[in-house]
Structure 1
């Protein structure tokens, strides 16, 4: 255990304030007593601490991230337990906003904001991949802009990260059920088969808990991973670092256009759209703005349904983005 190396306890810290709440736990601003340094403490919810799956996921975040040292990845320094046996993670305290918050406020990024943000994200994620770690949950809420600076993006939350070339987030049973729906009938006809959809969705959420079942099958706002999964992850096929190229393509698409890529009326329809359809061009949306052709090509290649046709690494994607930005600078 990481905690055994440092013998951490909450007594080492003075809690200043609660700064956030998530599905797994609460995040506090805290001061280390002996050094007076400010940290963020992510403490697991008390009601989850005895659940082996949730506990393993929480601990995985610490174990994976603690070895990653990069300016565009949140720094995790230690892991410990409260007196009531709740795991907690010690990480650098980030003041700023998430990309999700920015998009809610201003709908989409300006081009220079976009290039600055994703230069850092690609750099950090490339480092993680080259360290044999796939994040598997890249989305706007997991990209922080420190002090609101687009040049200071940081990737957070490695709670479901895995080493490269392991299976994607959707379990094999889900993949089999989803594949049978996709290949046997066309959506939206497939969506009318309530029994098939219910069976598939129940398996889909087996790793996340029954509480998200309703959000997957009912119309309305869709949050989290379904909007950013690659087609091969939706099908449960072998996923490698190229899957994260597609995921980044989804986040880039949304950041530029203000519209999620291939979003259905519910999460299940979104998964089916992702498997069955090519992504639209960023210039296909009637938003009154046309993007540079080179940037359009970069996003389109990142979003190719066939992994072999995408950029073969996030490093390659980052290089292409820099070239597109350089072309834009020369035009100006």
Structure 2
């Protein structure tokens, strides 16, 4: 549909979208000054009045009035996206409470590996109930095609974005956050699960100072020999994130235990204290080799006893690490005796997952210019890289098991 140019056209689109009841639109339809506005100014006014979100207004200004509802939820704004899913801030139509809706991309709904992983994530999320883990309430399908998981909406910032914003954290602050994550991870372990993707971007800090583990998309049930998600994925890529991958996860992701997550949590603590991962700026294959055979470089200014805890968490052999997350928390207890104050409100000034669309008629205050998007990369080097990494993992497994 063509983009609206007048307030009347914008109101007509808003009515078609079903975002607002007709009674809410009536005062604007009866206001001559409002109807004399252009579409941009009309949209801005409805955002200022709290009737539309910037995301909704921008879509309406582009002539898009459909797809604002997923099942019984109204889409407010995008929160983030991953390889196979997108997360939206949504509002229940009747109850008006806000949730995070994780939706499987349509192109992945027909992919057995992606769909099975999404179902497994929903099943795993239903098994956990802990203050340090993001809760899931429901799994459903809308219009026969949109699979989604209903989760807590956390008003906060990921630890990855926090470090990007303010730099490395003081030891006491970093340790407090990791101990909270260890508490949530202990509960996940006691539920018979292995997360397999612990990293700073999957740890959210809310405004009260609570850390929440999210994204159970790669979770494995520890007592399950039938890990179809891993088997289906084996021919495509290594499961996990190379910067945080335990040595054993690189080549046997279907035969892990909680000690693999402890390794990843150790890398996370390293990142919080240093502002970088231990083997940054290397190729994926080099990172996997370094995780297998190299100790992380020392972090300047970190106490030796804290560095020793990190080295134990990141020991190459699982039996040399702490055996449970509770043991990690105990080892770090000396740095958590004094409670942390509430987080600085400045931590949350940056949107956790920035909205892609520009705001409605933004003010003319000076802003840094956006960098131009890099040209698309050809796909063949990516596939070659993936095949090389898989081959490397096989070699590592061969020699490690000899």
- TM bucket (normalised to shorter chain) is 0.7 to 0.9
8 Å Cα contact 2:121/2:216 also seen in 1: yes
Task: Choose which of 317, 322, 325 in structure 2 pairs with 1:306.
Answer: 317
Larger displacement relative to structure 2 (30-39 or 127-136): 30-39
Distance 1:58 1:128, change over 3 A: same
Deviation per CA, 1:288-321, whole angstroms, max 9, x where unpaired? x422232122111111112111111111001111
Gaps of 5+ in 2: 1-68, 341-402
| Superposition CA RMSD, Å | 2.9
8 Å Cα contact 1:170/1:233 also seen in 2: no
Deviating above 6 A after TM superposition, structure 1's stretches of 4 or more consecutive aligned residues are 165-172
1:99 aligns with 2:110: no
TM-score by length of 1: 0.74
8 Å Cα contact 1:166/1:240 also seen in 2: no
Distance 1:28 1:235, change over 3 A: closer
CA distance in structure 1 between the aligned counterparts of 2:83 and 2:107, rounded to whole angstroms:
11
Q: SS where residue 73 of structure 1 aligns?
A: coil
Deviation per CA, 1:153-204, whole angstroms, max 9, x where unpaired? 10000011012277999979xxxxxxxxxxxxxxxxxxxxxxxxxxxxx967
Q: SS where residue 71 of structure 2 aligns?
A: helix
CA distance in structure 2 between the aligned counterparts of 1:327 and 1:11, rounded to whole angstroms:
46
1:160 aligns with 2:176: no
Distance 1:328 1:142, change over 3 A: closer
Shift of 1:84: 4.3
1:316 aligns with 2:327: yes
Distance 1:325 1:11, change over 3 A: closer
Shift of 1:28: 1.3
Between structure 1 and structure 2, the one with the greater Rg is 2
Deviation per CA, 1:252-300, whole angstroms, max 9, x where unpaired? 11111112123462111100111122333xxx24xxx422232122111
8 Å Cα contact 1:65/1:158 also seen in 2: yes
TM-score by length of 2: 0.62
> Aligned residue pairs: how many?
270
CA distance in structure 2 between the aligned counterparts of 1:235 and 1:19, rounded to whole angstroms:
32
CA distance in structure 1 between the aligned counterparts of 2:238 and 2:247, rounded to whole angstroms:
19
Task: Choose which of 244, 249, 254 in structure 2 pairs with 1:228.
Answer: 244
Shift of 1:16: 1.7
Distance 1:272 1:10, change over 3 A: same
1:79 aligns with 2:90: no
- Corresponding residue number in structure 2 for 1:36: 96
Gaps of 5+ in 1: 1-8, 173-201, 209-223
Distance 1:166 1:273, change over 3 A: farther
Shift of 1:126: 0.5
Deviation per CA, 1:101-159, whole angstroms, max 9, x where unpaired? 11211231122321221121010001100111110011111111113x5x311000001
